[in-house]
A and B are shown apart, each in its own frame.
Chain A
Amino acid sequence: MERIRRDFSTVTLVMIPVAIALNIAVGQLVVALKLPLYLDSIGTILVAVLAGPLAGLVTGVLANLIWTLTGLQPFAAAFAIVAGIIGLMAGLFAGWGWFRRVWLWLLGGVITGIVAALVSAPISAYLFGGVMGSGQDFLVAFFRATGASVIQATFGQGIVADPLDKLVSFLLVWLTLRALPSRFLQRFPRAENVAGRPE
């Protein structure tokens, strides 16, 4: 309980809106570069590493809810759980020390991506197709199930795109954070995820 209060320090609360705004800004840059990625969870992952899994969860969920509230994408809220899980997993992996070993960290990214795709598939299937009726053949089911991303709401991208996207996101966060001096990292509740335990 005490840990939760420490995780949600003022610094964390300040970081979350910044991270959510980053999600959107980076997402737009990526679209401008016409790359097959979203990178719309990069801020969420950042918060998760620096402030723990619960903070990452809150960031992800809030990001999608805000998306809905702005009226840009009313259905983003349905995928809030997915975004929350991404933050949660990134935070857990960082808490287990995976951040300090780059290969483990990148593996964590791939795992997160797979889980994200798996969780969002039934959500979009339910939302846009209803419960699968009788007489459906496998192709249609697969087709519908992979319309997972809300940003690029085109079918057939989920299962392949998500792990790659999370891998790159995790990598970018790693590159950015590991170069920061310890004195600066001390601001954040979970600095030890990046820097290791202080001697």
Chain B
Amino acid sequence: MIELDGVTFTYAGEATPTLQQLDLRIGAGELWAVLGPTGAGKSTLCSLLAGFIPHFYRGSLRGKVRVAGIDVPGSSLGEMSEHVGSVFQNPFNQVTGARYTVREEIGFGLENLGVPRPAMLERIERSLALTGLSELAERSPYALSGGQQQRLAIASILALRPKLMILDEPTSQLDPAGTGQVFTLLRDLVSAGETTVVVAEQRLEWVARVADRCLVLQSGTKAAEGTPSDVLSSPEAEGWGLCESRFSRAARAAAAQGVTPQRPQLPHTLDQAVEYFR
């Protein structure tokens, strides 16, 4: 699904590259989480995978970028949008404003893509069902909560049947309820085989719960790659500048004080913590 070889990218007007010699292979049907502190290049990677780099953002791009079978640099924004979907941080900004109801809002992208009307109606219903928005179909997009708006953004993108969905810190502006809704939705979508998901995130607890694999970025290079437990339990984890979950912090503190010996697999979710400290 995703093939990156030796990718180096520098924004126009900047001296240092934001991504350096990045190699990456992601298969279809997986839920990947991209981790790293601010400035590590998560957003840049997301923009690259969606085709915004190089077609929206200017700069020098080197290396091979193949996403969903398309050579990204040789494509266009219009073509990329047919195969790769993008969800962003701010739910309000993703409401186009050009439509009056949730249903029509989902239809916006379908209209742009020239999908025939019968197929449109069917896809909209499906999107509404998958994201749990069916009851809100006739409401104005502006009358929704942040979490609902974010689900609407996901629904709108889902309707386009993207092979790949990229989400750049989609829950950073949501409350805990909204955050839970989004992560659960992503997990359900991938498990049901709807699409492949790459999500850049800081909330490690959720990542540990739903992601299949993780990628840790540091200063534009790959610092680690693997399953959430492997990656997050790694002894180098502290050096990556990630916001550690309270469970693993508790485990490390317990080990330091000699209360519980530290085992290789640290807990990152509530369930794991319960098991760990038993």
Contacts and interface: CB of A to CB of B under 8 A. Distances in A.
A183 interface: yes
Nearest to B12: A186
A183 B12 contact: yes
B11 A183 contact: yes
Is the interface on chain A under 10, 10 to 19, 20 to 34, or 35 or more residues? under 10
A177 B78 CA distance: 30
A198 B14 CA distance: 12
B97 A186 contact: no
Contacts of A186: 12-13, 58
Contacts of B58: 186
Interface string B1-26: 00000000001111000000000000
Interface in A134-175: none
A50 B12 CA distance: 18
A17 B13 contact: no
Contacts of B11: 183
Is the interface on chain B under 10, 10 to 19, 20 to 34, or 35 or more residues? under 10
Contacts of A182: 13
A198 B97 contact: no
A182 B14 CA distance: 10
A10 to B, nearest CB: 8
Interface string B243-269: 000000000000000000000000000
Contacts of B12: 183, 186, 198
A17 B97 CA distance: 9
Task: Point out which of A17, A186, A198 has the most chain B C-beta atoms below 10 A from its C-beta.
Answer: A186
A100 B11 CA distance: 24
A183 B44 CA distance: 14
Contacts of A198: 12-13
Nearest to B93: A14
Contacts of A183: 11-14
B9 to A, nearest CB: 14
A183 B16 CA distance: 13
Contacts of B13: 182-183, 186, 198
B165 to A, nearest CB: 21
A57 B212 CA distance: 52
A182 B97 CA distance: 28
Interface in B43-99: 58, 97
Nearest to B96: A14
Interface string A179-199: 000110010000000000010
A198 B97 CA distance: 34
Contacts of B97: 17
Task: Point out which of B13, B14, B97 has the most chain A C-beta atoms below 10 A from its C-beta.
Answer: B13
A183 B13 CA distance: 7
A16 to B, nearest CB: 11
Interface in A34-64: none
A21 to B, nearest CB: 10
B112 to A, nearest CB: 12
B38 to A, nearest CB: 16
A17 B12 CA distance: 28
A134 to B, nearest CB: 52
Contacts of B14: 183
Nearest to A182: B13
Nearest to B14: A183
A176 B13 CA distance: 21
A100 B58 CA distance: 23
Interface in A72-130: none
A183 B58 CA distance: 9
A186 B11 CA distance: 10
B99 to A, nearest CB: 13
A1 to B, nearest CB: 20
A50 to B, nearest CB: 16
Please give me the 3 A-B residue pairs with the lowest Cβ-Cβ distance, nearest first.
Answer: A182-B13, A183-B13, A186-B58
Interface of B: 11-14, 58, 97
Given A17-B97, A183-B13, A198-B13, 8 more contacts: A182-B13, A183-B11, A183-B12, A183-B14, A186-B12, A186-B13, A186-B58, A198-B12
11 contacts: A17-B97, A182-B13, A183-B11, A183-B12, A183-B13, A183-B14, A186-B12, A186-B13, A186-B58, A198-B12, A198-B13
